[in-house]
Structure 1
């Protein structure tokens, strides 16, 4: 340790440590990963979460009794602003439940896919195909001019 490091204040020591931290990451690993399964699980699970959010959205729209929308609103009530009593700020509403479904789909599918694929080598083409297929499907489901012609009920 240099004298300058010892004499610096606590925040200076933290800053000196943080400046050195990325150097270890920049060096990289000594060898590349042997399998791509864990990375595939992380990427594809994000697409599954987005797709599940849009499925929940369309189920809540198709339900005329509003039981699904009420369920989703209660599911997402942990998000601040979901049920805001102030008329000035308004409510986020059942969208919080749809976002919660995204989180559930992502966080449940990731460990499952990771467990199934942890020792497998999955081609990059396969990973990208499923990720983009799920994202395109979720995007198409959010594009409302398409769905009056494809009713869900």
Structure 2
């Protein structure tokens, strides 16, 4: 007996990949902004023993989850240009990593 296979639209994977890129970029942006602004760093100090790291990571995870949920809902039944979305996600991940790189974010230190 031959098993039938059903193709899953690329929107499901595209949503997950782009959300990962968004989350990485937000974490990097939070890192650089916290270095550039003492006020922003204090606003992210949600758990004093961890300092601003607690807010940076929590905020990035929340935005990643929200982005994934929204994009999944919008794209779950759609066929999308996955290579283009993957490229955008790679750019966001690269920018996020650059923004988390100490020699870079220390350029903005107060």
Q: TM-score scaled to structure 2, two decimals?
A: 0.82
SS of 1:145 mapped into structure 2: helix
- Specify the structure having the higher radius of gyration (Cα): 1
Partner of 1:49: 23
- Residue range with higher mean Cα deviation, 117-126 or 43-52: 117-126
Distance 1:69 1:98 in 2: 9
Let me know the Cα RMSD of the aligned residues: 2.2
More helix by share: 2
Relative contact order higher in (CA < 8 Å, ≥ 6 apart): 2
Partner of 2:95: 137
Distance 1:140 1:44 in 2: 18
Change (3 A) 1:29 1:136: farther
User: Deviation digits for residues 8-64 of structure 1, max 9, x if unmatched?
Assistant: xxxxxxxxxxxxxxxxxxxx973221x11121111110110111111111221111x
Task: List alignment gaps of at least 5 residues for structure 2.
Answer: none
SS of 2:102 mapped into structure 1: coil
Q: TM-score scaled to structure 1, two decimals?
A: 0.61
Partner of 1:69: 41
